[in-house]
Amino acid sequence: MNDNLAEEASSGRINLIVRQFNWRMVLVRVLVNGLSLLVTAAILPHMYLREWSLANILFLGAILGILNAVVRPVLQFLTLSFIFVTFGLVVVMINTVILLLLAMFLPGRFGVDTLFWAMIAAVVMGILTGALESLLGLSYPILPDGARVSGRAIAHRAQPVAVPTQAESVAIGAGGTVGREEET
The predicted model gives 104-127 an average pLDDT of 93
Instruction: Return the biggest CA–CA distance within the chain.
Output: 103
Residues 6+ apart with CB under 8 A from 100: 112, 115, 118
* DSSP-assigned letter for residue 50: S
pLDDT band with cut points at 50, 70 and 90 for residue 81? confident
pTM for this prediction: 0.65
The predicted model gives 80-97 an average pLDDT of 88
Residue type, 47: M
The residues spanned by each domain of the chain are 22-142
Residues 6+ apart with CB under 8 A from 50: 56, 108, 109, 110, 111
Task: Check residue 125 and give its pLDDT.
Answer: 94
pLDDT, averaged across the chain: 78
- pLDDT tens digits along 14-72: 666 666 777 788 888 899 999 999 999 999 999 989 888 999 999 999 999 999 999 99
Task: Check residue 13 and give its pLDDT.
Answer: 67
Among 24, 22, 26, which Cα is nearest to 34's? Answer: 26
Task: Check residue 37 and give its pLDDT.
Answer: 93
